[in-house]
Structure 1
Amino acid sequence: MSSPAHAIYSSTLSLSLQGHAFHPQYGVQLIFNEIAESLILCGAICSQNPSCRTFDYDSSSHRCRLFEADLTNGAIIAAASQTSIVGSVILSASLYASMYNQSCSACQENRYQTCSSTTNTCQCPGNSYWNGSMCPLQLFENAACSQIDACRSDLNLSCIINSYGGFTQCLIGINLFTIFVYENTKIVQIETMSDYASLRSNDGVVSPNYNFLFDENILE
Protein backbone atom coordinates (compact mmCIF):
# COMPACT_ATOMS: atom_id res chain seq x y z
CA MET A 1 0.00 0.00 0.00
CA SER A 2 1.13 3.56 -0.65
CA SER A 3 1.31 6.35 1.89
CA PRO A 4 -1.98 8.06 2.87
CA ALA A 5 -1.18 10.98 0.59
CA HIS A 6 -1.29 8.58 -2.34
CA ALA A 7 -4.24 6.49 -1.18
CA ILE A 8 -6.24 7.39 -4.27
CA TYR A 9 -3.82 5.15 -6.17
CA SER A 10 -3.86 2.34 -3.62
CA SER A 11 -5.91 -0.82 -3.81
CA THR A 12 -5.54 -4.53 -3.20
CA LEU A 13 -6.25 -6.67 -6.25
CA SER A 14 -7.18 -10.31 -6.70
CA LEU A 15 -6.16 -11.92 -10.00
CA SER A 16 -7.86 -14.80 -11.78
CA LEU A 17 -6.08 -17.59 -13.60
CA GLN A 18 -5.06 -16.87 -17.17
CA GLY A 19 -7.58 -17.64 -19.88
CA HIS A 20 -10.42 -15.65 -18.32
CA ALA A 21 -12.23 -12.39 -19.07
CA PHE A 22 -14.88 -10.34 -17.31
CA HIS A 23 -18.41 -10.32 -18.68
CA PRO A 24 -20.51 -7.39 -17.40
CA GLN A 25 -24.25 -7.69 -17.06
CA TYR A 26 -24.80 -4.35 -18.80
CA GLY A 27 -22.84 -2.44 -21.43
CA VAL A 28 -22.88 0.75 -19.35
CA GLN A 29 -20.58 -0.97 -16.85
CA LEU A 30 -17.63 -0.78 -19.29
CA ILE A 31 -15.89 2.50 -18.44
CA PHE A 32 -12.51 2.12 -20.22
CA ASN A 33 -11.31 0.12 -23.22
CA GLU A 34 -7.81 1.08 -24.34
CA ILE A 35 -4.29 -0.26 -24.86
CA ALA A 36 -1.94 -0.69 -21.89
CA GLU A 37 1.63 -1.91 -22.08
CA SER A 38 1.38 -4.34 -19.16
CA LEU A 39 -0.90 -5.98 -16.62
CA ILE A 40 0.64 -3.84 -13.88
CA LEU A 41 -0.15 -0.66 -15.81
CA CYS A 42 -3.73 -1.79 -16.45
CA GLY A 43 -4.13 -2.49 -12.73
CA ALA A 44 -2.70 0.93 -11.91
CA ILE A 45 -5.19 2.59 -14.26
CA CYS A 46 -7.98 0.78 -12.41
CA SER A 47 -6.62 1.86 -9.02
CA GLN A 48 -6.55 5.49 -10.14
CA ASN A 49 -10.22 5.36 -11.17
CA PRO A 50 -12.58 5.29 -8.14
CA SER A 51 -15.33 3.81 -10.33
CA CYS A 52 -13.26 0.76 -11.28
CA ARG A 53 -14.11 -2.40 -9.36
CA THR A 54 -12.92 -4.96 -11.95
CA PHE A 55 -10.59 -5.01 -14.96
CA ASP A 56 -9.37 -7.53 -17.49
CA TYR A 57 -6.14 -7.48 -19.48
CA ASP A 58 -4.89 -9.46 -22.46
CA SER A 59 -1.09 -9.55 -22.66
CA SER A 60 -1.20 -10.52 -26.36
CA SER A 61 -3.38 -7.68 -27.61
CA HIS A 62 -2.55 -5.36 -24.67
CA ARG A 63 -6.25 -4.62 -24.33
CA CYS A 64 -7.13 -3.14 -20.95
CA ARG A 65 -10.79 -2.88 -19.96
CA LEU A 66 -12.13 -1.32 -16.76
CA PHE A 67 -15.58 -2.04 -15.39
CA GLU A 68 -17.81 -0.35 -12.85
CA ALA A 69 -18.95 -3.83 -11.89
CA ASP A 70 -18.15 -6.78 -9.67
CA LEU A 71 -19.34 -10.36 -9.26
CA THR A 72 -22.76 -9.20 -8.04
CA ASN A 73 -23.54 -7.84 -11.51
CA GLY A 74 -21.06 -9.56 -13.79
CA ALA A 75 -19.12 -12.81 -14.16
CA ILE A 76 -15.63 -14.14 -14.80
CA ILE A 77 -15.85 -16.37 -17.86
CA ALA A 78 -13.51 -18.48 -19.99
CA ALA A 79 -11.89 -16.34 -22.68
CA ALA A 80 -10.93 -17.20 -26.24
CA SER A 81 -7.45 -15.86 -25.47
CA GLN A 82 -5.31 -17.83 -23.03
CA THR A 83 -3.37 -14.65 -22.20
CA SER A 84 -6.38 -12.82 -20.76
CA ILE A 85 -6.66 -12.30 -16.99
CA VAL A 86 -9.17 -10.63 -14.65
CA GLY A 87 -8.33 -8.39 -11.71
CA SER A 88 -10.79 -7.48 -8.95
CA VAL A 89 -10.49 -4.73 -6.34
CA ILE A 90 -10.78 -6.27 -2.86
CA LEU A 91 -13.08 -4.25 -0.62
CA SER A 92 -13.69 -4.48 3.13
CA ALA A 93 -15.60 -2.53 5.74
CA SER A 94 -12.33 -1.29 7.23
CA LEU A 95 -11.75 0.83 4.11
CA TYR A 96 -14.91 2.81 4.84
CA ALA A 97 -15.67 2.79 8.58
CA SER A 98 -13.23 5.49 9.69
CA MET A 99 -14.21 7.95 6.96
CA TYR A 100 -17.90 7.71 6.13
CA ASN A 101 -19.86 10.82 7.12
CA GLN A 102 -16.72 12.44 8.56
CA SER A 103 -15.43 15.83 7.45
CA CYS A 104 -13.89 15.91 3.99
CA SER A 105 -10.37 16.05 5.41
CA ALA A 106 -10.79 12.36 6.31
CA CYS A 107 -11.18 11.25 2.69
CA GLN A 108 -8.80 13.52 0.80
CA GLU A 109 -6.90 11.63 -1.90
CA ASN A 110 -8.93 8.48 -1.28
CA ARG A 111 -10.47 6.25 -3.96
CA TYR A 112 -13.16 4.69 -1.75
CA GLN A 113 -15.08 7.77 -0.60
CA THR A 114 -15.54 11.25 -1.96
CA CYS A 115 -16.19 14.68 -0.51
CA SER A 116 -19.82 15.74 -0.92
CA SER A 117 -20.14 19.41 -1.86
CA THR A 118 -23.64 19.37 -0.37
CA THR A 119 -22.82 18.07 3.11
CA ASN A 120 -19.03 18.65 3.19
CA THR A 121 -18.64 15.10 4.46
CA CYS A 122 -17.19 11.88 3.08
CA GLN A 123 -19.81 9.95 1.11
CA CYS A 124 -19.97 7.02 -1.28
CA PRO A 125 -18.80 7.75 -4.85
CA GLY A 126 -21.29 7.99 -7.70
CA ASN A 127 -23.31 4.87 -8.57
CA SER A 128 -22.72 3.37 -5.12
CA TYR A 129 -24.58 3.63 -1.82
CA TRP A 130 -23.99 3.29 1.90
CA ASN A 131 -25.35 0.02 3.30
CA GLY A 132 -24.23 0.61 6.86
CA SER A 133 -20.69 -0.69 6.49
CA MET A 134 -19.51 -0.29 2.87
CA CYS A 135 -20.30 1.35 -0.46
CA PRO A 136 -21.51 -1.42 -2.79
CA LEU A 137 -22.47 -0.59 -6.36
CA GLN A 138 -26.03 0.51 -6.97
CA LEU A 139 -28.32 -2.09 -8.48
CA PHE A 140 -29.88 -2.46 -11.90
CA GLU A 141 -33.44 -3.08 -13.06
CA ASN A 142 -35.35 -5.95 -11.38
CA ALA A 143 -32.65 -6.51 -8.76
CA ALA A 144 -33.86 -7.03 -5.19
CA CYS A 145 -33.19 -3.95 -3.07
CA SER A 146 -33.40 -3.23 0.65
CA GLN A 147 -33.13 0.56 0.87
CA ILE A 148 -34.33 3.55 -1.10
CA ASP A 149 -30.97 4.64 -2.53
CA ALA A 150 -29.80 1.16 -3.60
CA CYS A 151 -30.83 1.51 -7.28
CA ARG A 152 -29.18 3.33 -10.20
CA SER A 153 -31.00 6.67 -10.06
CA ASP A 154 -29.06 7.87 -13.13
CA LEU A 155 -30.95 5.16 -15.06
CA ASN A 156 -34.29 6.30 -13.58
CA LEU A 157 -34.47 3.33 -11.24
CA SER A 158 -36.13 3.41 -7.82
CA CYS A 159 -36.33 0.87 -5.00
CA ILE A 160 -40.05 0.23 -4.86
CA ILE A 161 -41.91 -0.05 -1.56
CA ASN A 162 -44.79 -2.51 -1.33
CA SER A 163 -48.08 -2.01 0.47
CA TYR A 164 -46.57 -3.40 3.67
CA GLY A 165 -43.84 -0.76 3.74
CA GLY A 166 -41.08 -3.13 2.66
CA PHE A 167 -38.53 -2.46 -0.06
CA THR A 168 -38.80 -4.87 -2.97
CA GLN A 169 -36.93 -4.35 -6.26
CA CYS A 170 -35.42 -1.76 -8.58
CA LEU A 171 -37.90 -0.67 -11.23
CA ILE A 172 -37.77 1.99 -13.90
CA GLY A 173 -40.10 4.89 -14.66
CA ILE A 174 -41.99 5.01 -11.37
CA ASN A 175 -42.07 8.36 -9.63
CA LEU A 176 -40.95 8.63 -6.05
CA PHE A 177 -43.77 9.34 -3.65
CA THR A 178 -43.88 11.06 -0.31
CA ILE A 179 -42.65 9.04 2.65
CA PHE A 180 -42.91 10.20 6.24
CA VAL A 181 -40.23 8.74 8.48
CA TYR A 182 -40.61 9.05 12.21
CA GLU A 183 -38.99 7.76 15.36
CA ASN A 184 -40.54 8.81 18.64
CA THR A 185 -41.21 12.55 18.17
CA LYS A 186 -38.96 13.01 15.15
CA ILE A 187 -40.78 13.31 11.82
CA VAL A 188 -39.06 13.74 8.47
CA GLN A 189 -40.81 14.03 5.11
CA ILE A 190 -38.96 12.41 2.21
CA GLU A 191 -39.95 13.24 -1.35
CA THR A 192 -36.68 12.89 -3.24
CA MET A 193 -33.52 10.82 -3.16
CA SER A 194 -31.58 13.89 -1.93
CA ASP A 195 -33.96 14.18 1.03
CA TYR A 196 -33.19 10.59 1.94
CA ALA A 197 -29.44 11.10 1.46
CA SER A 198 -29.61 14.14 3.75
CA LEU A 199 -31.39 12.10 6.42
CA ARG A 200 -28.71 9.41 6.21
CA SER A 201 -25.96 12.05 6.37
CA ASN A 202 -27.45 13.60 9.51
CA ASP A 203 -28.22 10.36 11.31
CA GLY A 204 -25.45 8.13 9.94
CA VAL A 205 -27.69 5.14 9.26
CA VAL A 206 -31.47 5.13 9.25
CA SER A 207 -32.62 3.31 12.36
CA PRO A 208 -34.40 -0.03 11.85
CA ASN A 209 -37.00 1.34 14.29
CA TYR A 210 -38.14 3.95 11.78
CA ASN A 211 -41.65 3.37 10.49
CA PHE A 212 -42.68 4.25 6.94
CA LEU A 213 -45.98 5.92 6.08
CA PHE A 214 -46.68 6.40 2.40
CA ASP A 215 -49.35 6.95 -0.17
CA GLU A 216 -50.14 3.59 -1.76
CA ASN A 217 -51.33 5.31 -4.95
CA ILE A 218 -48.20 5.35 -7.08
CA LEU A 219 -48.70 7.53 -10.12
CA GLU A 220 -46.71 7.50 -13.31
Structure 2
Amino acid sequence: MSASVLCFIYYYEREIYVEAAFLEYMNLVVNFSIIFSIVIWLIGKSVVNNLMEQIIAFLFVLYLFILHLFVTYIYIPYYFTQEYIGNHYINVDQINLIPFKTIVNDLFGTVVAPVTVLQTLGNLFLLLPLAFSLLALNIMTSKRKVAVIVLLTTLFIETFQFVENVLVSGYLYSDGGGRAVDIDDLILNTLGGVIGIFLFVFYQRFFINYNFLRR
Protein backbone atom coordinates (compact mmCIF):
# COMPACT_ATOMS: atom_id res chain seq x y z
CA MET A 1 0.00 0.00 0.00
CA SER A 2 2.94 2.33 -0.64
CA ALA A 3 0.80 4.29 -3.11
CA SER A 4 -1.75 4.97 -0.36
CA VAL A 5 1.02 6.23 1.93
CA LEU A 6 2.22 8.62 -0.77
CA CYS A 7 -1.32 9.87 -1.30
CA PHE A 8 -1.84 10.38 2.42
CA ILE A 9 1.35 12.45 2.59
CA TYR A 10 0.12 14.54 -0.34
CA TYR A 11 -3.32 14.99 1.22
CA TYR A 12 -1.66 15.98 4.50
CA GLU A 13 0.64 18.52 2.86
CA ARG A 14 -2.30 19.88 0.89
CA GLU A 15 -4.77 20.24 3.75
CA ILE A 16 -2.80 20.69 6.97
CA TYR A 17 -0.96 23.91 7.70
CA VAL A 18 0.80 25.26 10.79
CA GLU A 19 -2.32 26.47 12.61
CA ALA A 20 -4.77 23.97 11.14
CA ALA A 21 -7.95 23.56 13.17
CA PHE A 22 -10.00 20.47 13.97
CA LEU A 23 -12.08 20.87 10.81
CA GLU A 24 -9.01 20.61 8.57
CA TYR A 25 -7.93 17.39 10.28
CA MET A 26 -11.46 16.00 10.05
CA ASN A 27 -11.53 16.92 6.37
CA LEU A 28 -8.28 15.03 5.81
CA VAL A 29 -9.43 11.93 7.69
CA VAL A 30 -12.87 11.76 6.05
CA ASN A 31 -11.67 12.25 2.47
CA PHE A 32 -8.74 9.87 2.84
CA SER A 33 -10.83 7.23 4.60
CA ILE A 34 -13.51 7.24 1.91
CA ILE A 35 -11.16 6.48 -0.95
CA PHE A 36 -8.84 4.26 1.14
CA SER A 37 -11.79 1.99 1.95
CA ILE A 38 -12.53 1.66 -1.77
CA VAL A 39 -8.85 0.97 -2.48
CA ILE A 40 -8.71 -1.78 0.14
CA TRP A 41 -11.84 -3.40 -1.29
CA LEU A 42 -10.69 -3.29 -4.93
CA ILE A 43 -7.10 -4.36 -4.31
CA GLY A 44 -8.40 -7.17 -2.11
CA LYS A 45 -10.29 -8.49 -5.14
CA SER A 46 -7.34 -8.13 -7.52
CA VAL A 47 -5.00 -10.87 -8.73
CA VAL A 48 -1.38 -9.77 -9.08
CA ASN A 49 0.98 -12.36 -10.55
CA ASN A 50 3.99 -10.44 -11.82
CA LEU A 51 5.91 -7.19 -11.79
CA MET A 52 3.86 -5.58 -14.54
CA GLU A 53 0.64 -6.17 -12.62
CA GLN A 54 2.27 -4.81 -9.46
CA ILE A 55 3.06 -1.62 -11.36
CA ILE A 56 -0.50 -1.43 -12.68
CA ALA A 57 -1.86 -1.93 -9.14
CA PHE A 58 0.41 0.83 -7.81
CA LEU A 59 -0.69 3.24 -10.53
CA PHE A 60 -4.33 2.23 -10.07
CA VAL A 61 -4.25 3.20 -6.40
CA LEU A 62 -2.67 6.56 -7.26
CA TYR A 63 -5.32 7.06 -9.92
CA LEU A 64 -8.19 6.40 -7.50
CA PHE A 65 -6.92 9.00 -5.05
CA ILE A 66 -6.41 11.56 -7.82
CA LEU A 67 -9.86 10.81 -9.26
CA HIS A 68 -11.45 11.45 -5.88
CA LEU A 69 -9.50 14.65 -5.48
CA PHE A 70 -10.82 16.03 -8.76
CA VAL A 71 -14.43 14.81 -8.96
CA THR A 72 -15.82 13.72 -5.58
CA TYR A 73 -13.72 15.61 -3.04
CA ILE A 74 -15.74 16.95 -0.10
CA TYR A 75 -14.44 20.14 1.53
CA ILE A 76 -16.09 19.74 4.93
CA PRO A 77 -14.90 23.01 6.55
CA TYR A 78 -16.94 24.99 4.02
CA TYR A 79 -20.20 23.82 5.57
CA PHE A 80 -19.11 24.99 9.03
CA THR A 81 -17.36 28.27 8.23
CA GLN A 82 -19.60 29.87 5.60
CA GLU A 83 -22.81 31.71 6.37
CA TYR A 84 -25.84 29.48 5.90
CA ILE A 85 -28.93 31.24 4.55
CA GLY A 86 -31.08 28.31 3.42
CA ASN A 87 -33.29 28.54 0.33
CA HIS A 88 -31.47 25.82 -1.60
CA TYR A 89 -32.04 25.94 -5.32
CA ILE A 90 -30.93 24.38 -8.59
CA ASN A 91 -28.64 26.53 -10.71
CA VAL A 92 -29.80 25.67 -14.24
CA ASP A 93 -26.78 27.47 -15.70
CA GLN A 94 -24.63 24.65 -14.33
CA ILE A 95 -26.68 21.92 -16.06
CA ASN A 96 -26.62 20.72 -19.67
CA LEU A 97 -28.96 17.94 -20.75
CA ILE A 98 -28.49 18.39 -24.51
CA PRO A 99 -26.16 15.68 -25.88
CA PHE A 100 -22.99 16.92 -27.64
CA LYS A 101 -23.80 20.60 -27.01
CA THR A 102 -20.78 21.19 -24.78
CA ILE A 103 -18.49 19.04 -26.91
CA VAL A 104 -19.37 20.96 -30.09
CA ASN A 105 -19.02 24.34 -28.36
CA ASP A 106 -15.68 23.42 -26.79
CA LEU A 107 -14.13 21.94 -29.92
CA PHE A 108 -15.85 23.72 -32.79
CA GLY A 109 -17.32 26.90 -31.29
CA THR A 110 -16.53 30.44 -32.36
CA VAL A 111 -13.86 30.68 -29.66
CA VAL A 112 -11.92 27.47 -29.03
CA ALA A 113 -9.55 27.82 -26.08
CA PRO A 114 -6.86 25.28 -25.16
CA VAL A 115 -8.40 24.89 -21.70
CA THR A 116 -11.73 23.72 -23.15
CA VAL A 117 -9.99 21.25 -25.45
CA LEU A 118 -8.02 19.89 -22.48
CA GLN A 119 -11.19 19.66 -20.44
CA THR A 120 -12.87 17.63 -23.18
CA LEU A 121 -9.88 15.31 -23.43
CA GLY A 122 -9.76 15.06 -19.65
CA ASN A 123 -13.37 13.89 -19.54
CA LEU A 124 -12.66 11.40 -22.31
CA PHE A 125 -9.77 9.82 -20.44
CA LEU A 126 -11.17 10.25 -16.91
CA LEU A 127 -12.43 6.68 -16.47
CA LEU A 128 -10.19 4.96 -19.02
CA PRO A 129 -7.72 3.80 -16.31
CA LEU A 130 -10.63 2.44 -14.26
CA ALA A 131 -11.85 0.18 -17.05
CA PHE A 132 -8.34 -0.92 -17.99
CA SER A 133 -7.25 -1.66 -14.41
CA LEU A 134 -10.39 -3.60 -13.46
CA LEU A 135 -9.59 -6.02 -16.28
CA ALA A 136 -5.79 -6.00 -16.05
CA LEU A 137 -5.88 -6.79 -12.32
CA ASN A 138 -8.59 -9.45 -12.73
CA ILE A 139 -10.90 -7.55 -10.41
CA MET A 140 -13.51 -8.17 -13.09
CA THR A 141 -13.30 -10.45 -16.10
CA SER A 142 -16.42 -9.50 -18.06
CA LYS A 143 -15.83 -6.60 -20.41
CA ARG A 144 -19.56 -5.95 -20.60
CA LYS A 145 -19.81 -5.66 -16.82
CA VAL A 146 -16.83 -3.32 -16.77
CA ALA A 147 -18.59 -1.08 -19.30
CA VAL A 148 -21.65 -1.05 -17.02
CA ILE A 149 -19.50 -0.19 -14.01
CA VAL A 150 -17.98 2.73 -15.92
CA LEU A 151 -21.45 3.97 -16.84
CA LEU A 152 -22.66 3.68 -13.24
CA THR A 153 -19.51 5.43 -12.01
CA THR A 154 -19.98 8.43 -14.27
CA LEU A 155 -23.69 8.56 -13.33
CA PHE A 156 -22.64 8.61 -9.68
CA ILE A 157 -20.14 11.39 -10.30
CA GLU A 158 -22.68 13.60 -12.08
CA THR A 159 -25.31 12.91 -9.42
CA PHE A 160 -22.81 13.66 -6.66
CA GLN A 161 -21.89 16.97 -8.26
CA PHE A 162 -25.57 17.88 -8.70
CA VAL A 163 -26.33 17.15 -5.03
CA GLU A 164 -23.25 19.09 -3.95
CA ASN A 165 -24.38 22.11 -5.96
CA VAL A 166 -27.81 22.01 -4.32
CA LEU A 167 -26.31 21.72 -0.84
CA VAL A 168 -23.83 24.54 -1.43
CA SER A 169 -26.54 26.80 -2.87
CA GLY A 170 -27.88 27.33 0.63
CA TYR A 171 -24.77 29.28 1.62
CA LEU A 172 -24.06 32.96 1.04
CA TYR A 173 -22.05 33.83 -2.08
CA SER A 174 -22.14 30.23 -3.34
CA ASP A 175 -23.76 31.14 -6.69
CA GLY A 176 -25.42 27.74 -6.77
CA GLY A 177 -22.20 25.76 -6.64
CA GLY A 178 -19.28 25.46 -9.00
CA ARG A 179 -19.74 21.92 -10.33
CA ALA A 180 -21.04 21.53 -13.87
CA VAL A 181 -23.53 18.73 -14.45
CA ASP A 182 -23.31 17.79 -18.11
CA ILE A 183 -24.64 14.86 -20.10
CA ASP A 184 -21.62 15.28 -22.37
CA ASP A 185 -19.39 14.38 -19.43
CA LEU A 186 -21.33 11.14 -19.10
CA ILE A 187 -20.91 10.44 -22.82
CA LEU A 188 -17.18 11.19 -22.78
CA ASN A 189 -16.52 9.26 -19.55
CA THR A 190 -18.35 6.20 -20.88
CA LEU A 191 -16.58 6.39 -24.24
CA GLY A 192 -13.27 6.63 -22.40
CA GLY A 193 -14.15 3.49 -20.45
CA VAL A 194 -14.83 1.65 -23.71
CA ILE A 195 -11.45 2.82 -25.00
CA GLY A 196 -9.92 1.46 -21.80
CA ILE A 197 -11.50 -1.93 -22.49
CA PHE A 198 -10.07 -2.00 -26.03
CA LEU A 199 -6.72 -0.88 -24.67
CA PHE A 200 -6.76 -3.86 -22.31
CA VAL A 201 -7.46 -6.20 -25.24
CA PHE A 202 -4.40 -4.89 -27.12
CA TYR A 203 -2.32 -5.03 -23.93
CA GLN A 204 -3.33 -8.62 -23.29
CA ARG A 205 -2.66 -9.76 -26.84
CA PHE A 206 0.71 -8.00 -26.97
CA PHE A 207 2.05 -9.61 -23.82
CA ILE A 208 0.66 -13.03 -24.64
CA ASN A 209 2.21 -12.94 -28.12
CA TYR A 210 5.60 -11.97 -26.73
CA ASN A 211 5.38 -14.28 -23.72
CA PHE A 212 5.71 -11.50 -21.16
CA LEU A 213 2.51 -12.27 -19.29
CA ARG A 214 1.23 -15.81 -19.30
CA ARG A 215 -1.46 -16.46 -16.70
Q: Give the TM interval when normalised to the shorter protein.
A: under 0.3
Name the structure where helix makes up a greater proportion of residues: 2
TM-score, normalised on structure 2? 0.26
Q: Which has the higher contact order (CA 8 A, sep 6+)?
A: 2
TM-score by length of 1: 0.26
Which one has a larger percent strand, Structure 1 or Structure 2? 1
